[in-house]
Amino acid sequence: MAESSEKGFNVIELTIQGFHEALRGEKTSCAELTKTYLNRIKNLDQSTRLNSMVVLNPNALTRAEELDKEYKETGALRPLHGVPAIVKDNYDTFDLQTAGGSLALKGSIPPDDAYQVRKLREAGAVILGKSNMAEWAFSPYQTVSSIAGTTRNPYDLERVPAGSSGGTAAAVASNLGLIGLGTDTGNSIRGPSSHCNLVGFRSTMGLTSRDGIIPLYLRNDVGGPICRTVEDATRVLDVIAGYDEADPITRLSKGENPDSYLSNLKKNGLEGKRIGVFRYYTDMETADPEMRREFEHAIEDFKSLGAEIVDPFEVEDFDELCKDIWCNTFKPDIAAYLATLTDPPYRSVEEIVETELYSDYIEDRLKSMAKSEPNLTCGNVYEEPKNIKLRNAITDEMDDARLDAIIYPTWSNPPRLIGDMDSPAGDNSQRIPPHTGMPGFSVPMGYTYDGLPAGLQIVGRIFSEPTLIEIAYSYEQGTKHRKPPLGF
């Protein structure tokens, strides 16, 4: 299965730091690592029916060789030097097709990189290729596109990896790349991370740029890391966080992000932290009993690792605060994105609908969006009264209880079987971070039903990433739940 490079260096569960230590020790090279991952993709992605990738980068090996030469000449490593990365198909890449999962954009090559992709490259990352996604990022439940078909969950190939970043999650979980990028409008970094036993960071709205990402609802969209460890996700966040003039909302990040988040990787990071237990989702009748069990185990783990638990944490009138809070801006957002292309094949959602180049499962929603009149009065999550009210209600309760963060299962039910759209889904990510701007991290929490991954969501105040990293890292290091899928 091409687990090792030519020098016998094993890539399974490899970390950025582990790779760089091996580079310094001449146990591998950038080119050898890139070749190993490309071979794993070619040998495993289709043969197992995982189907996580859309296109591979024909220049990946050449770029890795250039980085080997640079290291040999300078003796210096960039932050992500030679790190093979998998990028979701809705991130612009100047040298690779960016289709958003849609046949309508097949062959579309943007004029430049998305901001986050550019920052990865500047930090030395090698882009291996683009991963499959739910078409136009429409589904949190499954990763199915008209351009590449169905992506499966590597922990059970008959089950979904969630959506819409399921391709990135499935590939990273299967050790087909070292790190990954996903996007999250309401779930799509945290959900696939939970279903695939990974770490996913949805950062504070405004900490990272959305420039060059095909939008779903731009006012809710956040891009960020999907990785196997908290440390690797933190290293990626270090690279992509900060102000970008092409995305005005990132002006809010000025003075908020430290020079590096790596100092927050503390094994004792939970000691003295006050953590609120948000039981809203596990109290639902549809919550799976095994997921409830794993959540209770997580609470006990937090206690044993030094946290003070406040149980329960409640938000008065939570349902009412969340009512009708979504704002459909898809039509104008997509039109604005298409206008950035040098020679766009289409210029509007209406034109895309006319092509009939889309999957059956999104047809009704796509046509509805084409016919609907978007609410152009919606402000961003920091300006819209409903969003402000929800955020204030949550943070006021956190302040009263003197909490550092709140926790709840990322999903209250295990991954569904492919094709099952009737059993309880259990997606718990659609409300708090997307509509408050608050950061939400998902980390492995354990397993249900003979090895199906479960994820824990940790939510904090605006720009509280340093605190969330301390909490997530301490929990990860104290529990070590992450295990690779069998057969990969």
pLDDT per residue as tens digits for the range 61-107: 999 999 999 999 999 999 999 999 999 999 999 999 999 999 999 99
pLDDT value at 5 more than 80: no
Set 35, 52, 88, 165: catalytic member: 88
Set 164, 209, 464, 474: catalytic member: 164
Residue type at 393 in one-letter notation: A
pLDDT at 158: 98
Q: What average pLDDT score do residues 171-195 get?
A: 98
pLDDT at 1: 57
| Angle of CA points 15, 441, 129, to nearest 5° | 50
Q: What average pLDDT score do residues 437-444 get?
A: 99
To the query of whether residue 164 is one of the catalytic residues in this protein, the response is yes
CA distance 183 to 131: 12
% of the chain beyond a pLDDT of 70:
99
The pLDDT-based confidence of 7 (bands split at 50, 70, 90) is low
pLDDT at 250: 98
What are the percentages of helix, strand and coil residues in the chain, rounded to 5? 35, 15, 50
% of the chain beyond a pLDDT of 90:
97
Q: What average pLDDT score do residues 146-173 get?
A: 98
CA distance 189 to 206: 16
Set 145, 174, 188, 464: catalytic member: 188
Strand locations in 295-450, DSSP E?
Answer: 308-310, 405-409, 440-448
Dihedral of CA atoms 115, 35, 13, 171 in degrees, nearest 10, equals: 60
CA distance 400 to 245: 36
CA distance 476 to 390: 30
Helix/strand/coil (H/E/C) assignment for every residue in 331-351: HHHHHHHHCCCCCCCCCCHHH
CA distances from 160 to 42, 54, 156, 252 (A): 21, 17, 8, 36
Task: Determine if the pTM surpasses 0.95.
Answer: yes
Residues 28-73 pLDDT 10s = 999 999 999 999 999 999 999 999 999 999 999 999 999 999 999 9
Q: What is the CA radius of gyration of the chain?
A: 21
How far from chain centre, in Å, is Cα 454? 15
The pLDDT-based confidence of 9 (bands split at 50, 70, 90) is confident
Q: What is the DSSP letter of 42?
A: I
pLDDT at 218: 97
CA distance 346 to 351: 6
| Angle of CA points 105, 435, 153, to nearest 5° | 55
CA distances from 170 to 75, 138, 153, 399 (A): 34, 18, 6, 37
pLDDT at 376: 74
Residues 254-297 pLDDT 10s = 999 999 999 999 999 999 999 999 999 999 999 999 999 999 99
pLDDT at 8: 73
pLDDT at 372: 86
| Average pLDDT over all residues of the chain | 97
Could you tell me the domains of the chain? 16-479 (3.90.1300.10)
pLDDT value at 232 more than 90: yes
